[in-house]
Amino acid sequence: MTTSPCSVFVEGQGLYTFGGSVRDDQFGSHYVTYVYMLDLSVSWNISNPVFKQLENGPKVSEGPCAATNDGENIFVLSNGQGHVYNVESNSWTVLDNNNLASYRWRSAVTDPETGIIYFPDTTNVTYSLDLGTNTVNTTGSPEVLREALVVWSAYLK
């Protein structure tokens, strides 16, 4: 049984799960690279959901991941290294950004307007990643976000 994968919901596509941790008698507890998508673009019977196995990704457990605002890519942080999964090509790219290596974020969320990915931290700081420029910035954040799991919703216009 796999526990603690990171997961991302992409509107009109599906629920993606990345990695996780498994425990077995031979190897003990270890991270896995499996990537699956529960297809939510088609109708299916609850006794026979449509799962698709995708290209394996980085080893990750309880790490942050977030979809880009266009739903075309998914960012996954694994051991301080940023990885981007491309939904259409079913392929991975490793980010060339050493600034990510020192961060240990627990959750991530994408601003639907700007596409910037935000990571609340346990130190009252929120980090932001702009995938377009591959830059990381910081801002202060309220104490309430220290242990937050995050959700973002577009506002009604």
Domain boundaries, the chain: 2-145
Q: Residue 5 class from Cβ within 10 Å (0-12 exposed, 13-18 middle, 19+ buried)?
A: buried
| pLDDT for the residue numbered 103 | 65
| pLDDT for the residue numbered 49 | 93
| pLDDT for the residue numbered 78 | 86
**CA-CA distance, 82 to 96, in Å (whole number)?**
8
Of the candidates 124, 129, 120, the residue with the CA atom closest to the CA atom of residue 82: 129
**For the segment 24-64, what is each residue's pLDDT rounded down to a tens digit?**
887 788 888 999 999 999 999 999 999 999 999 998 877 78
- 2-145: CATH topology: Neuraminidase (2.120.10)
| pLDDT for the residue numbered 153 | 59
Low-confidence ranges of the chain (pLDDT < 50): none
**CA-CA distance, 102 to 99, in Å (whole number)?**
7
* Neighbour tally for 109: CB within 10 Å: 19
Round to the nearest angstrom and report the end-to-end CA distance of the chain: 43
| pLDDT for the residue numbered 40 | 94
Please give the model's pTM, rounded to 2 decimal places.
0.84
